[in-house]
């Protein structure tokens, strides 16, 4: 069991809406739903075939992980070091003003424009987290795919890691190693951790009107520290709505006002958080998560730090077709 009595699969997959083992959960729930469900199954199979046998095999391979290896024990210890959910709720979200300057943002926009022309993993969902094939209000692009982000933005990669480590130390979380100050007790012991924390995922979130993260129980399972950098201007300039919120231990919902373009929010990944619906415009956020595993270059938010991940862009395309909530005809 992992932090807070959760299993390994739950801890590492709770945020990953692309859990392969749920991809074929399309059985009809009633006689009236049978016909439409059968049509959706046929459409999924046909769409997957169109991607190609190699992509389908790559995706299906993820459903049957290899036999346990020697490193499993080491990573089991890492799981035990994940922050307890209840203690994570007591931590605060740290607002870092002007993490990126106007010049930084202009340079990043240019580099992102070039990055987005490369083959990258993507995932689309509606406000309820249901995968969509196209036209979804929440689109996630995995910028770390094939090491693209590290190549295109090496300085920003370093700055994101340094910021997470600096806030972790200042807040006394003790999640990323080094000396912590400001707290008498760390959230998790780091002695003997399996190497330094690395980037698990670097994502670009593009949220249109109606897009939201409505689940108040949501947290970034399996990660240690998350950094969100706002790339759009709020308060109606580029978008309206889309406030970052956290349910607190006293039952209140904290709305983190003052989060503006170029600012960063740094928080313990296991702290529950949500995003209010975007009412107008486009909300763009760069999201980086650090975990106690190797830096990933696979085409999704990786779910298993124990072994190499072979999840390719082709596999991401296949899964996008297979899991999409296709309309009934």
The enclosing domain of 84 has a CATH number of 2.60.120.620
- pLDDT at residue 82, rounded to an integer: 87
Domain presence at residue 272: yes
Domain presence at residue 328: no
Q: How high does pLDDT run on average in the chain?
A: 81
Buried b (16+ CB within 10 A) or exposed e, 176-201: bbeebeeeeebbbebeebbeebebbb
DSSP state letters, 124-145: EE-TTS-B-SSS-SEEEEETTG
- pLDDT at residue 287, rounded to an integer: 98
The pLDDT of 9-34, averaged and rounded, is: 41
pLDDT score of 299 more than 90: yes
- pLDDT at residue 193, rounded to an integer: 41
56: enclosing H helix or E strand: helix 53-61
Domain presence at residue 211: yes
pLDDT score of 45 more than 80: no
Domain presence at residue 94: yes
Domain presence at residue 112: yes
For residue 127, which of 69, 210, 67 has the smallest C-alpha distance?
A: 210
- pLDDT at residue 329, rounded to an integer: 41
pLDDT class for 308, splitting at 50, 70, 90?
Answer: confident
Domain presence at residue 329: no
User: Helix or strand or coil: residue 185?
Assistant: coil
Give me the number of domains the chain comprises. 1
Asked if 20 contacts 55 with a C-beta cutoff of 8 angstroms, the reply is no
The pLDDT of 56-68, averaged and rounded, is: 50
Q: Give the residue numbers spanning the domain of 13.
A: 3-323
Q: Supply the pTM of this predicted model.
A: 0.80
Beta bridge pairs of residue 275: 213, 244
pLDDT digits (tens, 9 = 90+) for 142-184: 999 999 999 999 999 999 999 999 999 999 999 997 543 334 3
Tokens 């296709």 belong to 326
User: Helix or strand or coil: residue 182?
Assistant: coil
Domain presence at residue 143: yes
């Amino acid at each position: 069991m992992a932090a807070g009595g959760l299993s390994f699969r739950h801890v590492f997959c709770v945020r990953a809406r692309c859990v392969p083992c749920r991809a074929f959960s399309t059985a009809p729930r009633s006689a009236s739903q049978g016909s439409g469900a059968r049509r959706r199954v046929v459409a999924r199979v046909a769409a997957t075939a169109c991607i190609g046998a190699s992509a389908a095999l790559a995706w299906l391979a993820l459903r049957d992980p290899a036999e346990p290896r020697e490193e499993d024990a080491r990573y089991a210890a890492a799981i035990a070091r994940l922050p307890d959910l209840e203690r994570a709720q007591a931590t605060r979200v740290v607002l870092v003003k002007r993490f990126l300057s106007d010049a930084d943002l202009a340079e990043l926009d240019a580099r992102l424009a070039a990055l987005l022309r490369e083959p990258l993993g993507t995932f689309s969902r509606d406000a309820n987290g249901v995968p969509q094939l196209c036209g979804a209000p929440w689109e996630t692009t995995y910028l770390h795919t094939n090491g693209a982000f590290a190549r295109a933005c090496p300085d920003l990669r370093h700055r994101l890691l340094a910021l997470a480590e600096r806030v972790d130390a200042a807040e006394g979380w003790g999640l990323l190693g080094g000396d912590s100050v400001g707290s008498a007790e760390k959230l998790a012991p780091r002695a003997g951790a399996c190497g330094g924390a690395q980037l698990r995922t670097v994502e670009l979130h593009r949220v249109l009107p109606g897009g939201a993260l409505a689940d108040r129980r949501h947290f970034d399972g399996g990660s240690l520290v998350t950094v969100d950098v706002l790339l759009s201007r709020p308060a109606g300039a580029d978008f309206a709505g889309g406030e970052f919120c956290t349910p607190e231990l006293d039952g209140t919902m904290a709305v983190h006002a003052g989060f503006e373009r170029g600012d960063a929010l740094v928080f313990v990944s296991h702290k529950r958080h949500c995003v209010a619906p975007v009412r107008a415009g486009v909300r763009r956020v760069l999201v980086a998560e650090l975990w106690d595993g190797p830096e990933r270059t696979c085409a999704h938010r990786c779910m298993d730090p124990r072994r190499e991940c072979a999840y390719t862009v082709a596999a991401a395309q296949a899964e996008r077709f297979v899991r999409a909530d296709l309309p009934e005809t």
